[in-house]
Structures are given as structure tokens and as C-alpha cells.
């Protein structure tokens, strides 16, 4: 009988920078290593390489990012060699370009191929449709929410024999407001130069148009709470023109002095604890929306756009609020409502939110779901 140490699981993605997909890869690395199997990750290097190593995994530098068909074919050759040299048992793709190479390599080496469908992936024509379809081409296809599972069934006609729903998760020990000491929060408040006593609204997301920072800035201008501060946590990742447009919008609405561009934050639990309200204003549906779940785990008041997986991860008017997409007035009204709540009501909603996340979106549940898929294919 094979022992756990006889197996090697290889995950592939474009790059190990910050983001929800990258964090999932780190968490699965930890889960695989804990079983005694070897956990390998192939991608371009990035900020999370040390996290892979701390989790017990091995990072293999490989540029799988290119969408060029010739490069993807070459990458398939490289992965096939890697599968042979590392005695890889199963390959798991988390993104489309790497998935093409991984599928070719898995077929050549006759090992199982797993994909995780992490996004709604815009589908604007036949070429884009074929490009997206690789994520539904695994021996098992993991959907990170019921919303995504329904999309995969409708778009790719995948049956329940291959499709598995494994929602994302957060670590309730890391995102525990009772475990965050005041010093961590105070350091962030000083670094961000937050005024004492001002209501704080946070939108944690990379700076890109579909994440809705424009909607949030427009909502800020409509708030009754004129002293509220908006913190945009996340980097532009080279989108300098978009960053400039956000600054210009804030200036034009006379709220520039109330908008803080914080960039990336290494201590997100402390950042959430600083916030009175956490917002997800995405104009396109979120496939999962990790920040929504993290903020609820931190007992924050959460407001999100009413589409995509937010309909699963927020119980409306019980653990948070949902508002129509791209509607600054509705978002402002919900934020004002949240800020108007007495302390007792805020505590009750925060407690319900944390209990809900612990019951449905713990990282251990996500890890176990992925390992169960591996066991299906590896026996």
C-alpha cells in the first residue's frame, strides 16, 4: 500500500504574489505537507514564496504566465519533465495559461489533472470561450462557490460526476479580533495617520476598475457621516492611470482629504480591526470574495454588492448588508445605517457573522475538501 510520502502534488499558477488565489495555494501546500506528501508549487517567484516554504512546500521557479500558444506548448514540455523528475502524482492548476501546459503534461505522463475555477472569467467570443474552457477540463473541477458551480454547469456542461464545490475559507485563529493586540492596531493607525475618533470605512482590494473603488468614493461623498474616512487597502499593481483617476475623482467630489490610499498591508487582521465598516463594492460578480469572509470573521460590519458569491457569504441583514451593483446612493445609505447602529447591535451582528464564517468558511474545511478530491483520484 502506498504511503503519503510516496505522493507528490504539484500546484501551478502564474506567480506567487498577493491575492486570494495565491493564498489558497499556500493553504493547500500546508494541507498537503501535513499529510506527509510532498507539496510542490511551480510559478514565477513573488512575495509568497517564503510562505510556501514555511508551509512545508517547495517552490519551483517556472514562467507559466504567457498566453502565447508556442510558449504554453513549451511549458507543457517543461512540466512533463518536472513530473517525471519529481515523481509527481497529481497536478492542480489554478489559472488558465498554466492549465493548458498542465493538461498537456498530465496527459503525457498519465497523471490526474485537477482545476480550480477561481473566477467568473468574462466570455466575449469563441476564442475567449475556448480559453476559459481549459478550467473545466480537469478530471475534477473545483468550484469555489455555488455561484461558480452554476456558471460552470451552464457554460461548460460539466456534470456532477466531475464538478466539486469547495468554498474558500479563512483561518479563524488568524482572523480573530480577540487575538489582535492593541499595539498592532495602533501601529497601523499611526502609519496611516488616521484621525482619532473618525468613523473608518475600508475597501480591501487591488486597485482595478471592477473592484468598485470609484463607486465607493462616490458613495463617500453622499454619506451623512461627513467625518468618515475611507481607506483603500491594496496596490495598483502598475495601474498608475487608474490610481490617478481615483485621486482626481476624490478631488472633484471634494473628499480627497478623507480618502487614504494605503497600498498593500502585511497585517490584514489588524487592518480589519481598525475598520468600523468593511465594503466590497465590486461591479462584476465575485467568484468568492475572500475579504467579505475575513471581515466577518473579524466581527466587522460588512457591506457587499448583491451579486455573485456575496449572496452566499453574507446573510442579508443578519451578518451584513447587500446593496445593488454600481449604486453609490444605495451603498452610502447602507454605510450610514451601519454607522448609526448602537454598540449592542454592532456587537450582535459581528458575533453572528463570526459564527457564520466558522460554521461554513473555515480554512480547514476548504483544505479537507481539496484533499478529498485528491483522494478520489489517487485512491
Q: Where are the domains of the chain?
A: 4-169+362-378, 177-360
pLDDT score, position 18: 80
Laid out side by side, the sheet with 200-204 consists of 259-263, 229-233, 200-204, 277-280, 301-305, 321-323
Spell out the CATH class of 177-360. alpha beta
Residues 6+ apart with CB under 8 A from 353: 296, 297, 299, 300, 302, 319, 320
pLDDT score, position 181: 86
What does the alpha-carbon distance between residue 172 and residue 116 come to, in Å, rounded to a whole number? 23
Domains 4-169+362-378 and 177-360 share a fold: yes
Strands (E), the chain: 8-15, 38-44, 58-61, 90-93, 113-117, 140-143, 163-165, 200-204, 229-233, 259-263, 277-280, 301-305, 321-323
pLDDT score, position 131: 93
What does the alpha-carbon distance between residue 18 and residue 127 come to, in Å, rounded to a whole number? 29
What does the alpha-carbon distance between residue 27 and residue 295 come to, in Å, rounded to a whole number? 18
Each residue's pLDDT tens digit in the chain (379 positions)? 678 888 999 999 999 988 889 999 999 999 999 999 999 999 999 999 999 999 999 999 999 999 999 999 999 999 999 999 999 999 999 999 999 999 999 999 999 999 999 999 988 888 889 999 999 999 999 999 999 999 999 999 999 999 999 999 999 999 999 999 889 999 999 999 999 889 999 999 999 999 999 999 999 999 999 999 999 999 988 899 999 999 999 999 999 999 999 999 999 999 999 999 999 999 999 999 999 999 999 999 999 999 999 999 999 999 999 999 999 999 999 999 999 999 999 999 999 999 999 999 999 999 999 999 999 999 8
What does the alpha-carbon distance between residue 39 and residue 30 come to, in Å, rounded to a whole number? 8
Q: What global pTM score does this model have? A: 0.93
Sign of CA dihedral 315, 350, 357, 143: positive
DSSP string spanning 47-90?
TTHHHHHHTT-EEEE-------HHHHHHHHHHHHHHHHHHT--E
Q: How far is CA 137 from CA 134, 140, 162, in A?
A: 5, 8, 9
Beta bridge partners of 263: 233, 234
Q: Are 282 and 212 within 8 A, CB to CB? A: yes
Residues 6+ apart with CB under 8 A from 246: 207, 213, 214, 217, 232, 259, 261
| CATH topology for the 4-169+362-378 domain | Rossmann fold (3.40.50)
What does the alpha-carbon distance between residue 150 and residue 75 come to, in Å, rounded to a whole number? 31
DSSP string spanning 221-266?
HH-S-TT-EEEEEB--TT-HHHHHHHHHHHHHTT-GGGEEEEE--S
Beta bridge partners of 93: 12, 115
What does the alpha-carbon distance between residue 115 and residue 122 come to, in Å, rounded to a whole number? 18
pLDDT score, position 1: 66
Amino acid at each position: 500500500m502506498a504511503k503519503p510520502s510516496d505522493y507528490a502534488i504539484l500546484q501551478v499558477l502564474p506567480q506567487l504574489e498577493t491575492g486570494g488565489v495565491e493564498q489558497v495555494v499556500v493553504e493547500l501546500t500546508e494541507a498537503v505537507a501535513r499529510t506527509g506528501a510532498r507539496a510542490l508549487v511551480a510559478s514565477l517567484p513573488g512575495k509568497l514564496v517564503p510562505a510556501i516554504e514555511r508551509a512545508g512546500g517547495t517552490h519551483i521557479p517556472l514562467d507559466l504566465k504567457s498566453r502565447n500558444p508556442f510558449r504554453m506548448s513549451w511549458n507543457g514540455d517543461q512540466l512533463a519533465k518536472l513530473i517525471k523528475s519529481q515523481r509527481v502524482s497529481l497536478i492542480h492548476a489554478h489559472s488558465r495559461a498554466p492549465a493548458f501546459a498542465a493538461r498537456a503534461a498530465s496527459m503525457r505522463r498519465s497523471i490526474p489533472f485537477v482545476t480550480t475555477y477561481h473566477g467568473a472569467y468574462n466570455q466575449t467570443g469563441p476564442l475567449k470561450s475556448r480559453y476559459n474552457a481549459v478550467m473545466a477540463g480537469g478530471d475534477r473541477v473545483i468550484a469555489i462557490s455555488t455561484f461558480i458551480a452554476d456558471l460552470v454547469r451552464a457554460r461548460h456542461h460539466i456534470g456532477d460526476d466531475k464538478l466539486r464545490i469547495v468554498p474558500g475559507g479563512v483561518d479563524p485563529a488568524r482572523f480573530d479580533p480577540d487575538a489582535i493586540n492593541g499595539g498592532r492596531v495602533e501601529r497601523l493607525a499611526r502609519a496611516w495617520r488616521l484621525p482619532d475618533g473618525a468613523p473608518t470605512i475600508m475597501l480591501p482590494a487591488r486597485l482595478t476598475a471592477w473592484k468598485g473603488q470609484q463607486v465607493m468614493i462616490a458613495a463617500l461623498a453622499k454619506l451623512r457621516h461627513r467625518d468618515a474616512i475611507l481607506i483603500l487597502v491594496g496596490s495598483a499593481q502598475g495601474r498608475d492611470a487608474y490610481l490617478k483617476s481615483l485621486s482626481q475623482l476624490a478631488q472633484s467630489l471634494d473628499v480627497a482629504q478623507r480618502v487614504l490610499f494605503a497600498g498593500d498591508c502585511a497585517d490584514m487582521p489588524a487592518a480589519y480591526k481598525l475598520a468600523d465598516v468593511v465594503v466590497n463594492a465590486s461591479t462584476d460578480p465575485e467568484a468568492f470574495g475572500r475579504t467579505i469572509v475575513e471581515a466577518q470573521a473579524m466581527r466587522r460590519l460588512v457591506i457587499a454588492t448583491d451579486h455573485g458569491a456575496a449572496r452566499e457569504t453574507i446573510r442579508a441583514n443578519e451578518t451584513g448588508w447587500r446593496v445593488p451593483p454600481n449604486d453609490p446612493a444605495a451603498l452610502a445609505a447602507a454605510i450610514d445605517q451601519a454607522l448609526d447602529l448602537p454598540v449592542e447591535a454592532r456587537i450582535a451582528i459581528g458575533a453572528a457573522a463570526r459564527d457564520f464564517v466558522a460554521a461554513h468558511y473555515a480554512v480547514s474545511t476548504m483544505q479537507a475538501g481539496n484533499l478529498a478530491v485528491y483522494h478520489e483520484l489517487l485512491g
